[in-house]
A and B are shown apart, each in its own frame.
Chain A
């Protein structure tokens, strides 16, 4: 516990020192592009944390822009995860099926997701469906390919054990294949969650009337640099939170692992 406390202090101490250094540097430079952290924090407070107590101090802008962005990110990611894991586990247990679609999957993953944004734009018009489509298309492939990898690599002795005990199909899939594949699946989920955040921003930069990305673009056009920086910081915080939550979930789900990774 003491060691952990020390580590905690060390980490945040370094972080605080860096913020101070940043403050001093930006003050010295006085560049309009690089406002001081103090200014940025002030902007954050004014924009998002100035609401009434009934809204937990959150301003309307949080509900109009931040929350929709978060819901799009998580919604798209969750849909892609469910579909991706199911598809990946099924494909991973069939060598023949993978022979047919493997190259297509590898190709699909190699496509930079924003390139299909114009297509989604004409198909779904500006709005949430188009953003969800972009996020799902971009995040699906890492989940599928990692699930395939995981499902494929079920240990041969476990395969034979399951066969020797004549496990019924659902018990085999849910009780043996899925847990075996879980560590790989989580690796895929982590990659796709950070991709989901990126794609949320991209889709909002292109086709949205609200959201963090839209606000970012708006701030750029208005040359409101503190607002832009506030958006960047907010996205960083969100990315950090998402990743931390997923890691906590992963740790719980993989608690049985003697040597957890990451």
Chain B
């Protein structure tokens, strides 16, 4: 309770600073709009049909990308995590693919996929696959051998051990990976919209408000919305993780 109040006080304090800075004239007029203006724009935007459609486009692309990334990375991670030979083989590929920043592929993706939603979804998938994949492999490695031995001493075979021991004990790590990926995917979706102006979305809205008309108040309002989406997604996933894996000490451990 006290924490909530303090958090709100912090928020109000931040907004007050923003208001003062905005009105102080430190920056040329219109560059750093006061908090009150940004909040007014925010309310207006949320009632604006075109903006809401942009928002939906972004969230939808994000959700599809995350779904695909999970569907690809979790099975791949399980496979690589359980078969050491495969993992050693794949290591080189993974290590050289992962460091390529997803945004470096934007120009290429635009050429190949055009500026439709495919581009942002495929790039977001590319970026979101890695955290899930690594966390899954890591989790399979971290399964306590004592648990496995215990299960085997009760006569469980290879597959039942995998299904009933390895998977449950790996699940919290995988969930953490998914949460990290969710954040990355949102960043990439918005970035691609912003850089490529592709097929609507929050990113393009910010691009047009910024470079087209120089409306920084709209840019800030759009940024707040993007931040809110990211915050809510993360908070929601964290909540789900806590509920599902209350037994695990790994919950909440993330970077």
Contact = CB atoms under 8 A, between A and B. Distances in A.
Direct interface between A and B, CB < 8 A:
yes
Interface of A: 7, 10-12, 14-15, 18, 33, 96, 99-104, 106-119, 121-123, 142, 146, 184, 187-188, 190-191, 194, 197-198, 201-202, 205-206, 213, 216-217, 219-220, 225, 228-229, 231-232, 235-240, 242-243
B241 interface: no
Most buried by B among A146, A197, A242: A197
B99 to A, nearest CB: 3
Interface of B: 2-3, 6-7, 9-11, 13-14, 27-28, 31-32, 88-93, 95-108, 110-112, 183, 186-187, 190-191, 194-195, 202-203, 206-207, 209-211, 214, 216, 219-220, 222-223, 226-231, 233-235, 255
A11 B92 contact: yes
Contact of B231 (A106, A113, A217): A106
Most buried by A among B101, B183, B210: B101
Contact of B31 (A114, A119, A201, A231): A119
B15 to A, nearest CB: 10
B111 A205 contact: no
Contacts of B230: 109-112
Contact of A228 (B100, B107, B191, B222): B107
A192 to B, nearest CB: 10
Nearest to A216: B107
Given A111-B227, A114-B190, A119-B220, A99 B100 contact: no
Contact of A110 (B104, B194, B227): B227
Contact of B206 (A101, A108, A118, A232): A118
B107 to A, nearest CB: 4
A184 B89 contact: no
A164 to B, nearest CB: 28
Contacts of A184: 255
B180 to A, nearest CB: 9
B198 to A, nearest CB: 13
A202 B107 contact: no
A151 to B, nearest CB: 15
B251 to A, nearest CB: 14
For the complex of A and B, list the 10 residue pairs with the smallest distance between their C-beta atoms, beginning with the closest: A118-B210, A239-B99, A110-B230, A220-B107, A187-B255, A100-B10, A99-B6, A111-B227, A236-B100, A112-B190
B194 to A, nearest CB: 5
Contacts of B187: 112-114
B195 A202 contact: yes
B100 to A, nearest CB: 4
B231 A110 contact: yes
B208 to A, nearest CB: 10
Contacts of B186: 112
Contacts of B105: 232
B88 A103 contact: no
B11 A104 contact: yes
A121 B105 CA distance: 23
B104 to A, nearest CB: 4
B93 A18 contact: yes
B112 A236 contact: no
Contacts of A111: 223, 226-227, 230
A104 B255 CA distance: 18
Given A11-B88, A99-B2, A106-B231, A112 B108 contact: no
